[in-house]
Amino acid sequence: MNMKSNAPKPDLKIAIDARMVARSGIGTCIQHWLKNVGYEIALGNPEELVAYKDVPKHIPFICGIYGYKEQLKFPYRALYREKPDVLHIPHCNVPLFYRGKMIATIHDLTHLIYPEFLPMKIVHWYFKFIFWFISKRADKIIVVSESTKRDLLRLYKTDESKIRVIPSGVGKEFVRKTPQEYDYLYEKFNIPRDKKILLYVGNLLPHKNLNGLLKGFAQMKGKENCRLIFVGKAFDGRTKATQEKELGIEDLTIHAGMVSQDDLVNFYNLADLFVLPSLYEGFGLPILEAFACGTPVACSNTSSMPEVGGNVANYFNPTNPASIADTLEKSIDDKGKYDAEIDAWVSRFSWEDSAKKIRETAESLFL
């Protein structure tokens, strides 16, 4: 009598599409997964993968994400020769003609929730199709939050049993620093020492709701005693937005631009308050990064952010500038008041735990 074994497949050979490893956001996830999951094969740019010695086989795959070119250039033959047991696609851009076992990670469904922010209608149809394809084709679907899971189940008739929620972690480099360690930032970025610092880290995509943040900050009582600092590539060499001038806060904002990882950690430590005003986030990793550096967080009460911020973040309605202003006012003096609660909350998220659960998900395909 044949009996199905409940033991995991020994020496499971997992491949990952790691083309986005050098990016922020999803790239940060891939960087930590490459170090912790135990992949045997990584697809991507060999120059970007050379640092990941724990992955023994690198298959060249240099191609932009999204669109037909990546489908045509996907290294099907090279991958088949390596005979992986499972292919992990860490984003929604799955290879349409791959026939092996596959797990896919969906970080968010922004393109479907806010199609009005897309440049062309055809882009919306592309993402609508690709998420549908994942819902049907992937053997397992990993989502990073319960919010994303709800969105996926609402938009597609997906088999709920093949969806697993695996939250992201927070890097060990995000730690509390002494004032002496980040003091240099004041001079380097021309930051006044006698002001409270509000920090935003991210980009200028419409769903990030930067206009909403600016309007809320403009209504904040005591804003003259604060500076709002923007960190991210989107702010490199960028002159102040027209809206900053119209709102009369041009002199109260600082565009730091792209910074090093060390500078980023120090900015989190320098800040009195981190602000994330997004309309939608699949996870909201900067919330955890700020917490890990001991900085309180004010963020939107939408999508996944209450999951990531828990009871230690302060929330506002991102479409209501008065709500944003009120929360900023109430939160700006919170630093140091809730350190024990923040530390306890952050300890629940780790990349090692995320990686372990990804491997377990792959192994479950053979149980």
Which SS3 state, helix, strand or coil, does residue 99 take?
Answer: coil
Domain match, 355 and 292 both: no
Q: How many CA atoms lie within 13 A of 186 on its CB side?
A: 12
Domain match, 342 and 199 both: yes
What's the pLDDT score for residue 50? 92
Domain match, 149 and 219 both: no
Number of neighbours of residue 262 by Cβ within 10 angstroms:
12
Asked if residue 331 belongs to a domain, the reply is yes
Domain match, 260 and 287 both: yes
What's the pLDDT score for residue 7? 46
Asked if residue 4 belongs to a domain, the reply is no
What's the pLDDT score for residue 248? 93
Q: How far is Cα 329 from Cα 317, in angstroms, rounded to an integer?
A: 14
- Write out the residue range of the structural domain in which residue 193 sits: 179-346
**What is the number of domains present in the chain?**
2
Is this structure's pTM higher than 0.95?
A: no
Domain match, 110 and 232 both: no
- Pairing between strand 14-17 and 57-60? unpaired
| DSSP code for 9 | P
Domain match, 208 and 104 both: no
Domain match, 151 and 222 both: no
Domain match, 117 and 61 both: yes
What's the pLDDT score for residue 23? 87
Helix-helix angle 210-219:321-331, to 10 degrees? 60
Task: Determine contact, residues 44/18, Cβ cutoff 8 Å.
Answer: yes
Asked if residue 342 belongs to a domain, the reply is yes
Asked if residue 97 belongs to a domain, the reply is yes
Q: What is the helix (H) or strand (E) element at residue 187, kind and residue range?
A: helix 184-188
Asked if residue 8 belongs to a domain, the reply is no
Domain match, 295 and 186 both: yes
Asked if residue 18 belongs to a domain, the reply is yes
What's the pLDDT score for residue 11? 82
Asked if residue 6 belongs to a domain, the reply is no
Question: What is the domain-level CATH number for residue 47?
Answer: 3.40.50.2000
> pLDDT truncated to tens, each residue of the chain (367 aa)?
344 444 455 589 999 999 999 988 899 999 999 999 999 999 999 999 999 988 999 999 998 888 789 999 999 999 999 999 999 999 988 999 999 999 999 999 999 999 888 888 888 898 999 999 999 999 999 999 999 999 999 999 899 999 999 999 999 999 999 999 999 999 999 999 999 999 999 988 899 999 999 999 999 999 999 999 999 988 876 656 668 989 999 999 999 999 999 999 999 999 999 999 999 999 999 999 999 999 999 999 999 999 999 999 999 999 999 999 999 999 999 999 999 999 999 999 999 999 999 999 999 999 8
| Closest residue by Cα to residue 178 from 315, 248, 72, 270 | 270
| Closest residue by Cα to residue 210 from 178, 186, 242 | 242
Domain match, 278 and 150 both: no
What's the pLDDT score for residue 133? 93
What's the pLDDT score for residue 4? 44
Asked if residue 280 belongs to a domain, the reply is yes
Domain match, 56 and 155 both: yes
Domain match, 134 and 155 both: yes
